[in-house]
Amino acid sequence: MLLQNFAEFQHVFGGLWQPSPLGYAVEHYFDNGGREALVVRVANGARAATLTLNAGAARMTLMAVRPGTREFLRASVDYDNIPAEDPVRFNLTVQRVRAQGGSHVDDQEIFRDLSMDSASERHVRAILAHSELLRVVGELPGQRPDRTLDSSRGSAAAYVASNADGDDGAPLTDYDVIGSELELTGLFSLAAADHFNFLCIPPLSRETDVGPCAWLAAMSYCKERRALLIVDPPAAWHTADDALRAMRDWSLYSENALMYFPRVLALDKLRGHFESFAPCGAVAGMLARTDEAYPVWGPAKFEEAVLRPGYRPACMVSEDRRQRLELRGVNALQSVRSVARIGVRPRTLAGGAAAAADWQSLAARRLALFIVNSIESGTRWALNADPDSELPERVAAQVRGFFEELHAGGAFGARRPEEAFFVRVAQGARAAQVEHSNEFQLRFGFAATRTQEFHCFRVLYSASGIAVRFVTQGHPRLDRLNPAEYCPEELAWVNRLARQLEPPQSLQAV
């Protein structure tokens, strides 16, 4: 579900719930500046509550769409504007309330002119199949449900409350979070989203951290979706020294993951005092807030992780510990900005697993993901364009213009355009455009931090869609050598050769 604020989360998911850290993470996200959140509900064997409507001597059973003990529904049946001689049609009103027996309505659906006749276009089972609140389950009775009346007054409309047979299920496991790619559950529910920037997985419970297998699956999924995973530090890391010792044996590395330490202290509105929480929600909100004001390649002084008032780190991190943690890919959260810390650049959890050394920098990695995602989404029109021999060049011109705008905005520092990026339609037998189709390849590269190295990507446009692949690191001189003609292994060899043949700086100046 796409949400714009925490009030929408309360409306859809029911707000804060003490056993679940998810609601608190969403609250922290919006409190720290987040604007949009995609939220996925995960359960382990939970069961939805039922609702029973009398139909003479028989009963019609409805079941809530959402499982759990906190999904409170009530329904009312009336025959308004239904002819007295019609025995099969009725009206149904369903409400989702904040608490059982309460009057605060969170959601409501009204279904007019439903029918018990299976041949009717208004058949109750078919119509309720599109409801966001409930479904018909089991066999239907032979007659329509009875009109619901207030027994105390005899005529006023009343509601029938859902039964107390909902179940929250067993405690969550890593495999519930991972889910199924075929059934589009867990992580794979995000397949319905065109794009997302950060993935947060709050702890499974207040006492249970996310396990290694879920982190590994999430890292792999984020790499596939070109997004960043925010990994929470384990609850056992109480001090910076705890974190430093634990990072010696840390084995979960990815250029598409990042970590901030320590946990955050925030007010638990249900318990009425400050509690320690995993920082992923606050971190995602903080980064989203920064993106609203500055580009992802913004100067280092705007990259410091500063929480909003009401949130503070669970422990203090001294400057020397902060630097040592960042060498291991762990960034430190702060509650105030300090001049002494300006210039420290956040890192990813790339470690030695990065495909390029630049990806250890969070800003460089975010710039790369921004560029690739923008090109992929901004050139999709080419898949539906009429076959044209000039199409590849038009796409290349569009991408080149995009890079020129980035260059003008300072994304590549003071480098000259030829030292900052290149865009080329790939040539050769395998890369040439297929006749009467829009299948072709595009190559582009850019220098993220080092002027002397390009990060090269290949984009394949075909009937199956757009596929983007990181090729290798290149060298500006290879732009003249047409790197599109080389396979990755050859390109790496020529790149090494170019470095060996690079003239001294003094000769370049001459």
Q: Please, which pLDDT band fits residue 13 given cuts at 50, 70 and 90?
A: confident
pLDDT of residue 340: 57
Label residue 163 exposed, middle or buried (CB < 10 Å: 0-12, 13-18, 19+).
middle
Same domain (yes/no): 59, 36: no
Average pLDDT of the chain, as a whole number: 86
Same domain (yes/no): 339, 488: no
Instruction: Characterize the bridge pairing of strands 2-3 and 89-97.
Output: unpaired
In terms of residue numbers, what domain contains 408? 379-509
Same domain (yes/no): 232, 247: yes
**Residue pair 52/60 in contact by the 8 Å Cβ criterion:** yes
Same domain (yes/no): 15, 70: no
pLDDT tens digits for range 442-493: 999 998 777 667 888 999 998 888 998 888 665 544 444 454 445 444 455 4
Q: Is residue 334 predicted with pLDDT exceeding 80? A: yes
Across the range 59-72, mean pLDDT stands at: 93
Q: Please, which pLDDT band fits residue 509 given cuts at 50, 70 and 90?
A: very low
Asked which of 14-18, 52-56, 246-250 is least confident by mean pLDDT, the reply is 14-18
**Residue 169, in any domain of the structure:** no
d(CA 327, CA 420) in angstroms, rounded, equals 27
**Residue 474, in any domain of the structure:** yes
**Token digits for 7?**
């009030």
Same domain (yes/no): 151, 194: no
Same domain (yes/no): 340, 214: yes
Same domain (yes/no): 300, 218: yes
**Residue 147, in any domain of the structure:** yes
**Token digits for 159?**
């509601």
**Residue 488, in any domain of the structure:** yes
CB atoms within 10 A of CB 322: 20
Same domain (yes/no): 206, 318: yes
Q: Please, which pLDDT band fits residue 304 given cuts at 50, 70 and 90?
A: low
Helix crossing, 319-327 with 240-247: angle to 10°?
Answer: 20
Number of domains in the chain: 3
Across the range 99-104, mean pLDDT stands at: 83
Across the range 371-390, mean pLDDT stands at: 89
Residues shown for the chain: 510
pLDDT tens digits for range 248-301: 999 999 999 999 999 999 999 999 999 999 999 999 999 999 888 888 876 544
**Residue 362, in any domain of the structure:** no
Across the range 226-251, mean pLDDT stands at: 95
Across the range 150-173, mean pLDDT stands at: 81
pLDDT tens digits for range 118-151: 999 999 999 999 999 999 999 999 899 999 987 6
The answer to whether the bond into 262 is cis (omega within 30° of 0) is yes
